[in-house]
């Protein structure tokens, strides 16, 4: 079993929000893409792609927080996902240089309320 | 993105779940996490030590410059000179450079010119004689003092030249007339200025030259005056030609003209008071003086006059003794220096009357009056010697008239007195408030009461049992005459001189007009009368029963019974109670 640096969990039908903050370096103008898959190296298409937005301050309530991106999986999208264990990473590209983050584990649990 | 990039995940459920994505330049290895200090990385430290610090650029290291790059690309030939020309660096040959310099002869110093062969130089033939210039005009600069010149090139009229230094001369500008050249001292420049008589002149000017030939004031004056010998006390005068000593005369000289012509003297005299008949037009101030030396006195009598003992106080002395004085409160004292009343008089001799008030020959007004502040008469004595007291007008028919308003005759205890005579603190002697004494003790009356009623209560109110019409009480001694008292009577009632008198009563009580039972009854030891009694004798119980005997007998009332005690002590009841 692959060990991941961190893990996140959310329920189906729940809005899932993560953030990727730029602790060092200049990534202003870079393009960030976040996606979910079954496992690293899975050749199947990405299960879901998070909608990313660049923020001058990752924590919008803290003007001293570093810049970064927020990644959001809308509730209607997470509704379509199956429960189970997945991985997620981010791909950042600036001026042809690509940085791939380490994957983090994501567990999607079955919901109780509002289940179809 | 040559620098290190660090990305961190922020996941829900975790405050900051860190997943680091570190990226270096593409295709290069990525540094891991450094631990320790830089000195521990010997190779890195050595690599760093081999490089210049960035801070050295601009200080010890010339940074990149396009100008320097241009210079470096010129590729000059030997002897070429790099020259800035037309705003750009270029290389120039020495010839080109010399041309550019455009040198003139003035740019070449004498030291750079060969002159050892001047005598052979063709131009020297223009000099008529070497070392002697006989013609021509010197057009070079001023010749320095070291070469016999002044180093100066211009002057103003009146300027003087003086040495201002070891090898320099200077101009001393001219100044206003009347000034002389004064040395500034050794090593200092001279200057124009005035001659200081005290500091710049020495010697003594003799008389023949307008001086005195002397160095002291006295000697100088004597040198000009006539000889002093034998001239003591004389004054300097003139004989019309020369000064001479004159002998003063005693007293005024002859004054001609009139006094009025001497205006100042006349004015001075006018300011003085004439001794006889002079009239002061202003205040006259004199010395305060003293009791024996008054400030104002008559000629020849300096101890009699007016003087001023203190501020606001005036006094008069007679024969050196104070006669009277008046102070600031308008208090006048005659022969008194302490003024406690408005007018005080003290006799200065036992046999001298202190005060006399004397009327005119036909004095009609009162001799003297006492008045209240509003002028109301309080007491007076008229010219006939009649005296009134308490607001009464003196009357020729009353020697002493004491009157007043009814409310002024009642004292604080409610008693009323026309005259009240009392003794206060009489510790010794006879307690006699008032004494009437006849000239002859037995042949004349001390007090004679004449009238229908000799002594009469005039109390108009209701009769009071406490009121006494008259009371007599014998005390011993009655009189203070020193004579032997052979008998004493509280009241002695005699009917004397009754010859030819129709009726004579030794004691009479009652009267035709009396309508009071009490009024015309005689009460002894009793203060009330029985009902309906009129004209009776009322006896009260004796306050103490007699125990002794008298030559006659004693009648008294005991417990309501009328008793008689005879000379032998026998008591007889005259009437039972």
Q: Is B3 on the interface with A (CB under 8 A)?
A: yes
Q: Does B27 touch chain A (CB under 8 A)?
A: no
The DSSP letter of residue B274 is P
Q: What is the pLDDT of residue B476?
A: 45
> In this complex, which of B1, B10, B13 lies closest to A25 when CB atoms are compared?
B1
Task: Give pLDDT tens digits for B296-333.
Answer: 999 999 999 999 999 999 999 999 999 999 999 999 99
Name the closest residue on chain B to residue A4, using Cα atoms: B19
Type and span of the H or E element at B321: strand B321-326
Neighbour tally for B12: CB within 10 Å: 14
- Residue B28's pLDDT is what? 44
Give pLDDT < 50 ranges for chain B: 1, 15, 25-30, 128-129, 407, 409-410, 441, 451-454, 456-469, 475-481, 511-514
How far away is chain A from the Cα of B27, in angstroms, using its nearest Cα?
Answer: 10
The secondary structure of residue B45, as a DSSP letter, is H
Q: B468-525 pLDDT, tens per residue?
A: 445 555 544 444 445 555 665 656 666 555 566 665 555 655 544 445 555 556 777 7
Which of A28, A52, A101 should be substituted to probe chain B, the one whose Cβ sees the most B Cβ atoms within 10 Å?
Answer: A101
B393 touches B403 (CB < 8 A): no
B21 CB-near residues (< 8 Å, 6+ apart): A90, A92, A99, A100, A101, A102, B5, B6, B7
pLDDT of residue B26: 44
The residue of chain B with its CA nearest to that of A104 is B19
Query: How high is the pLDDT of residue A1?
Result: 45
CA distances from residue B110 to A98, B98, B113, B194, B391 in whole angstroms, order as listed:
79, 20, 5, 50, 145
DSSP labels, chain A: ----S-EEEEETTS-EEEEEEEEES--TT-EEEEEEESSTT--SPPSEEEEEEEESSSSTT-TTSPPEEEEEE-HHHHTTSPSEEEEEEEEEEETTEEEEPPPEEEEEEPPSTT--
Of B8, B11, B13, which has the smallest distance from its Cβ to A23's Cβ? Answer: B8
Rounded to 5°, angle at Cα B323 from B317 and B326: 95
ipTM reported for the complex surpasses 0.85: yes
Tell me whether A10 touches chain B (CB under 8 Å). yes
Is A26's CB within 8 Å of B1's CB?
A: yes
Distance CA B574, CA B105 (A): 193
What parts of chain A have a pLDDT lower than 70? 1-6, 115-116
Neighbours of B479 (CB within 10 A): 15
Domain boundaries, chain A: 7-109
Q: Domain A7-109 sits in which CATH superfamily? A: Immunoglobulins (2.60.40.10)
Smallest CA–CA separation between A51 and chain B, in Å? 15
Question: Which of B2, B4, B10 should one mutate to test binding to chain A, selecting the residue with the greatest count of A CBs within 10 A?
Answer: B10
Question: By the CB < 8 Å criterion, does B318 face chain A?
Answer: no
Q: Is A18 on the interface with B (CB under 8 A)?
A: yes
Count of Cβ atoms closer than 10 Å to residue B170 Cβ: 16
pLDDT for A49 equals 93
**A100 chain-B contacts, CB cut-off 8 A:** 21
CA distance B408 to B402: 11
Distance (Å) from the alpha carbon of A38 to chain B's nearest alpha carbon? 18
Calculate the alpha carbon distances from B464 to B326, B457, B469, B511, B534 in Å. 56, 11, 11, 19, 17
| Upper half-sphere CA count for residue B216 (Cβ side, 13 Å) | 3
Buried b or exposed e, range A83-104, using 16+ CB within 10 angstroms = eeebbbbbebebeebebebbbb
- H-helix or E-strand containing B218? helix B217-224
Rounded Cα distance between B7 and B14, Å, is 16
B64: distance to nearest CA of chain A, Å? 28
What residue ranges do the domains of chain B occupy? 290-348, 367-409, 515-577
């Amino acid at each position: 079993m692959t060990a991941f640096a961190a893990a996140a969990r959310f329920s189906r039908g729940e809005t899932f929000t993560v953030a990727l903050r730029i602790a060092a370096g200049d990534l202003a103008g870079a393009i960030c893409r976040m996606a979910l898959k079954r496992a690293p190296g899975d050749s199947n298409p990405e299960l879901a792609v998070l909608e990313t937005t660049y923020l001058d301050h990752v924590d919008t309530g803290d003007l001293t927080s570093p810049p970064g991106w927020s990644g959001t999986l809308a509730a209607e999208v997470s509704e379509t996902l199956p429960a189970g264990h997945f991985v997620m990473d981010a791909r950042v590209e600036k001026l042809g240089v690509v940085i791939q983050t380490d994957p983090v584990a994501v567990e999607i649990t079955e919901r109780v309320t509002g289940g179809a | 993105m040559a620098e290190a990039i660090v990305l961190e995940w922020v996941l829900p459920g975790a405050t900051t779940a860190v997943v680091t994505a570190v990226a270096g330049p593409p295709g290069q290895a990525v540094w891991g996490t450094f631990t320790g200090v830089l000195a521990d990385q010997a190779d890195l430290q050595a690599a760093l030590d081999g490089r210049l610090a960035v801070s050295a650029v601009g200080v010890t290291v010339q940074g990149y410059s396009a100008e320097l790059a241009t210079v470096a690309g010129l590729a000059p030939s030997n002897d070429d000179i790099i020259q800035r020309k037309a705003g750009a660096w270029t290389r120039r040959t020495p010839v080109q450079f010399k041309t550019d310099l455009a040198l003139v002869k003035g740019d070449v110093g004498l030291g750079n010119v060969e002159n050892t062969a001047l005598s052979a130089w063709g131009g020297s033939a223009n000099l008529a004689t070497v070392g002697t210039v006989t013609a021509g005009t010197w057009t070079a600069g001023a010749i320095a003092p070291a070469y016999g010149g002044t180093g100066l090139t211009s002057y103003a009229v009146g300027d003087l030249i003086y040495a201002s230094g070891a090898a320099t001369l200077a101009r001393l500008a001219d100044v206003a007339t009347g000034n002389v050249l004064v040395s500034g001292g050794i090593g200092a420049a001279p200057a124009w200025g005035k001659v200081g008589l005290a500091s710049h002149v020495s010697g003594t000017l003799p008389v023949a030259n307008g001086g005195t030939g002397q160095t002291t004031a006295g000697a100088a004056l004597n040198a000009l005056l006539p000889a002093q010998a034998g001239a003591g006390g004389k004054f300097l005068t003139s004989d019309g030609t020369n000064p001479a000593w004159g002998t003063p005369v005693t007293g005024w000289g002859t004054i001609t003209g009139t006094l009025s012509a001497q205006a100042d003297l006349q004015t001075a005299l006018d300011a003085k008071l004439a001794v006889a008949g002079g009239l002061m037009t202003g205040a006259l101030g004199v010395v305060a003086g003293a009791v024996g030396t008054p400030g104002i006195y008559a000629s020849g009598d300096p101890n009699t006059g007016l003087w001023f003992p203190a501020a606001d106080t005036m006094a008069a002395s007679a024969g050196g003794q104070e006669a009277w004085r008046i102070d600031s409160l308008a208090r006048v004292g005659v022969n008194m220096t302490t003024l406690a009343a408005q007018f005080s008089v003290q006799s200065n001799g036992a046999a001298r009357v202190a005060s006399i008030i004397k009327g005119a020959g036909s004095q009609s007004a009162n001799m003297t009056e006492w008045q209240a502040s509003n002028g109301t008469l309080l007491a007076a004595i008229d010219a006939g010697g009649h005296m009134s007291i308490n607001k009464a007008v003196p009357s020729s028919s009353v020697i002493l008239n004491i009157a007043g308003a009814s409310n002024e005759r009642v004292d604080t205890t409610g008693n009323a007195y026309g005259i009240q005579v009392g003794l206060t603190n009489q510790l010794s002697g006879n307690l006699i408030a008032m004494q009437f004494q006849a000239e002859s003790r037995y042949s004349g009356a001390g007090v004679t009461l004449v009238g229908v009623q000799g002594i009469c209560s005039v109390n108009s109110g209701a009769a009071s049992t406490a009121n006494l019409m008259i009371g007599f009480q014998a005390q011993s001694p009655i009189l203070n005459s020193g004579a032997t008292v052979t008998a004493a009577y509280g009241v002695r009632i005699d009917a004397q001189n009754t010859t030819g008198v129709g009726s004579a009563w030794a004691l009479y009580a009652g009267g035709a007009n009396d309508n009071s039972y009490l009024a015309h009854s005689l009460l002894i030891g009793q203060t009330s009368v029985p009902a309906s009694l009129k004209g009776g004798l009322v006896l009260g119980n004796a306050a103490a029963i007699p125990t002794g005997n008298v030559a006659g007998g004693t009648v008294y009332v005991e417990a309501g019974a009328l008793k008689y005690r005879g000379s032998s002590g026998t008591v007889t009841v005259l009437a039972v109670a």
